[in-house]
Structure 1
Amino acid sequence: MPTYHYRCKNCGYDFTEQQSFNDDPITVCPKCSQEQVRKVYSAVPIEFKGHGFYRTDKSGK
């Protein structure tokens, strides 16, 4: 199950929740009870491993 990061625009409370893809996003802050919660999106790290991903990995002539 994916984990989502949320932040309340009203009080600044940060929290994470595990939710199914079918669940509706959380909109109410569990701390201040305001409907100011939004998902926080961040870059996903990518790691290339193995042969062929580097500039020095050139094919033979």
Structure 2
Amino acid sequence: MPTYHYRCKNCGYDFTEQQSFSDEPITVCPQCGQEQVHKVYAAPSIEFKGSGFYRTDRGSSK
């Protein structure tokens, strides 16, 4: 199951939750109880380095 990062706009509380793709997003803060929670999006943690990862690159013919 994917892990999502949330932050409350009211109190600033940060937390993560494991949720199924079919689960509704969390909207109520577990700390202050306000309906001010939103998902925090970040860059993916994968990075391709070296040759061979792009369509224009060619692998060795050997």
Q: Given the two structures, how large is their TM-score scaled by the length of structure 1?
A: 0.79
How big is the shift at 1:49? 5.9
How big is the shift at 1:46? 2.5
**Identity across matched positions, percent:** 81
**Which aligned pairs between 1:23-34 and structure 2 lie closer than 5 A?**
23-34=23-34
How many residue pairs get aligned? The number is 58
Q: Which runs of 5+ in 1 are unaligned?
A: none
1:14-59 deviation digits (Å, cap 9, x = unpaired)? 00000000000000000000000000000002232675249xx766
Cα distance in 2 for residues equivalent to 1:43 and 1:49: 16
Structure 1 segments of 4+ aligned residues over 3 angstroms from their partners: 57-60
Aligned AA (2:39): K
Residue 46 of structure 1 is matched in structure 2 by 46
Residue 15 of structure 2 is matched in structure 1 by 15
Q: Given the two structures, how large is their TM-score scaled by the length of structure 2?
A: 0.78
How big is the shift at 1:9? 0.1
Which has the higher mean CA deviation after the structures are superposed, 38-47 or 3-12?
A: 38-47
